[in-house]
Amino acid sequence: MSDPRIDEALRPMLPRLRRFALWLARDPHAADDLVQSTVERALSKWASRREDESLRAWLFAILYRLFLDGKRRASRYARFIGSLHEEEPTWPSAERVAIAHSTLAAFADLPVEQRSLLLWITVEGMSYREVADILEIPIGTVMSRLSRARRALRLLGDGGAEIPPLRLLK
Amino acid sequence: MTTTPPSEHDIHAYVDGHLDGPRRGEVERYLSRHPERAEEVHAWRQDAQQLRTLLAGDLGATPSQEATLDPVAIRMRRHKRRVTRAAIAASLFLCLALGGAGGWAARGMGTGSTAPMADAMQAYQLLAVDHGVGMDITTGNEGDLRAWLAGRVGATAHLPDLADAGFRPMGGRLFATDQGPAAMVLYDDGKGHTVSFYVRPPGAARRLLPRGEREDNGLLANYWSDGWHNYAVVALADAAGRAAAQRVVVKAI
């Protein structure tokens, strides 16, 4: 199972996985852990991957499920120790600078699924079919959820009326 | 003169730039007649464009991140973890086995002091019989073994040079004992004689052993202490084993 071709295929996906993890977990360390777990899972499940399946969608699906599982565990634990509010991860200062941008701030505030949908479709340019496969829902449902996500982003981002011209981010 | 609005799919595909040809024209025509819808759809396009630009910066990773997240590194860590887990499982098993054996050996002993270095003899039985199957480190290099021993059991634990006595090291194995980490290094003289060199800390009670020798269950143990650790040399209790052990003990003490 130590096929260098597998590593070659995985390597270019890492920055994309990390970006997705960063926007899911909103914490750089948690993001790195997520990517690492994703690659581990991918290495051990490589043989079960369908040949026709897009590698990127497959990896995103693994990462997304790992994140949700972790979140579920964390909230079960939170309930267990009697604290009902879910701890929101804190952004380190560098990220907070970027967050100051209203669109990004709105994006960061979206629910996990809406954030994932927008990242997969608008940023990664994935097809609706791929996204439907990841979420295991029909394409029609992807469409309606995408509408909801786009409206939510609008609403949170001050309606976009006074969006300043794009700033360059470090 | 279409009045039916385009499907949700076509609207999104238009926003995401996936729509070409006549269907794109249809969406554009529809939007030109429905300015309130057009405003929203164009805002969506703008948002998508902004997200793409803003998130493009997140694709960079520091070299250290790249190194830790590289599949090769992750594969290695996974392998290491598995080996560690197996080693922990094996030493837990050995703890139980030694504990059980020690308990059995200690039966009937009034004061509760077990036979000296019974663990060394157990360890010999477990490994030397299979000629070193299941060792943690397999090397004939004494320098490597010395470093391994110093790192695991302690810098003061010293390994004898038995080359003059005709014995070459084969490798070593760690054991968890009540007194702390113990190590056994197996030596072979190339003529079928296997002798073990066993070292273990004296434990919190600092129970150092006087020089001694005893036989049990067909095995011969010579033991002593250097003030920091307890040592034992174990061999088969036959004529050849006795002679081999003698040569080793003379070199080791």
CB atoms B69 and A122 under 8 Å: no
Regarding whether B123 and B52 lie in a shared domain, the answer is no
Listing from the earlier edge strand, what are the strands of the sheet with B168-177?
B168-177, B180-188, B194-200, B230-236, B219-225, B212-216
Rounded average pLDDT over B4-16? 92
The SS3 assignment for A68 reads helix
pLDDT at B3 over 80: no
For chain B, the residue count is 253
Residue B188: helix, strand or coil by DSSP? strand
In the block, residue with structure tokens 């579920």:
A72
- Residue A35 near residue A17 (C-beta atoms within 8 A): yes
Optimal mutation site among A26, A122, A155, A169, interface B, most CBs of chain B within 10 A: A122
Residue B16 at interface with chain A, using a CB cutoff of 8 Å = yes
Q: Is residue B71 part of a domain?
A: no
Please give the structure tokens belonging to residue A152: 């939510």
Distance from CA of A33 to the nearest CA of B (A): 9
Does B46 share its domain with B137?
A: no
Q: What is the 3 state secondary structure string of A69-132?
A: HHHHHHHHHHHHCCCCCCCCCCCCHHHHHHHCCHHHHHHHHCCHHHHHHHHHHHHCCCCHHHHH
Is residue B227 domain-shared with residue B132, that is, in the same domain? yes
pLDDT, one tens digit per residue, over A109-150 is 899 999 999 999 999 999 999 999 999 999 999 999 999 999
Phi/psi at B120 (5° precision): -65, -40
B35 and B145, same domain (yes or no): no
Cross-chain Cβ contact B8/A98 below 8 Å: no
Half-sphere exposure of A67 (CA within 13 A, CB side): 24
Would residue B89 count as lying in a domain? Answer: no
Helix H or strand E segment including B236? strand B230-236
User: Which sign, positive or negative, has the C-alpha torsion A65, A69, A70, A75?
Assistant: positive
Tell whether B242 and B120 lie within a shared domain.
yes
- Contact present, B165 and B193 (Cβ < 8 Å): no
- Which domain does B36 fall in, by range? 8-58
Q: What's B156's DSSP letter?
A: T
Question: How many separate domains does chain B show?
Answer: 2
Closest by Cβ to A14, choosing from B52, B69, B78: B69
**Is the Cβ–Cβ distance between A93 and A47 less than 8 Å?**
no
Whether residues B160 and B241 share a domain: the answer is: yes
Supply the ipTM of this predicted assembly: 0.77
| One-character DSSP codes across B204-226 | TTT-PPPSEEEEETTEEEEEEE-
Q: What is the CATH number of the domain that holds B120?
A: 3.30.200.100
Q: Residue ranges per domain, chain A? A: 1-90, 91-162
B210 closest CA partner among B239, B232, B183, B178: B232
For residue B196, what are the contacts with CB-CB under 8 A and spacing of at least 6? B120, B123, B124, B127, B128, B184, B185, B186, B187, B232, B233, B234, B235
> Do B177 and B244 belong to one domain?
yes
Q: Which helix or strand (DSSP H or E) is residue B181 part of?
A: strand B180-188
Note whether B9 contacts A: Cβ–Cβ < 8 A.
Answer: yes
* Beta-carbon separation of B57 and A169 below 8 A: yes
- A100 pLDDT tier (thresholds 50, 70, 90): low
What pLDDT is attached to residue A74? 79
Distances (CA, A) of A39 to A13, A52, B152, B173: 10, 19, 32, 33
Within this chain, do residues B46 and B127 fall inside the same structural domain, yes or no? Answer: no
The fold of the A91-162 domain, in CATH, is Arc Repressor Mutant, subunit A (1.10.10)
Judge: B52–A123 Cβ closer than 8 Å, yes or no.
yes
Whether chain B has a CB inside 8 Å of the CB on A19: the answer is yes
Dihedral angle at the C-alpha atoms of B62, B63, B68, B73, nearest 10 degrees? 150
DSSP label of A149: H
What would the pLDDT profile of B82-137 be if each residue is shown by its tens digit? 888 888 888 888 888 888 777 777 665 544 346 788 888 888 887 776 666 778 88
| Host H or E run for residue B148 | helix B142-152
Is the full-model pTM beyond 0.90? no
Give SS3 for A37: helix
Task: Please tell me the predicted confidence (pLDDT) of residue A18.
Answer: 92
In a domain, B2, yes or no: no
Q: Do residue A160 and residue B46 have CB atoms under 8 angstroms apart? A: yes
- Distance from C-alpha of A164 to C-alpha of B8, rounded to nearest angstrom: 29
Are B44 and B123 part of one and the same domain?
no
pLDDT of residue B29: 93
Q: Is the pLDDT of residue A96 over 70?
A: no
Q: Which of B18, B43, B52 is opposite residue A160, by nearest beta carbon? A: B43
Which tens digits make up the pLDDT trace of B29-53?
Answer: 999 999 999 999 999 999 999 888 8
Please tell me the class of the A1-90 domain: mainly alpha
The confidence score (pLDDT) of residue A82 equals 58
Residues B131 and B217 both lie in one domain: yes
Is residue B133 located within the same domain as residue B233?
yes
Q: Is the pLDDT of residue A164 over 50?
A: no
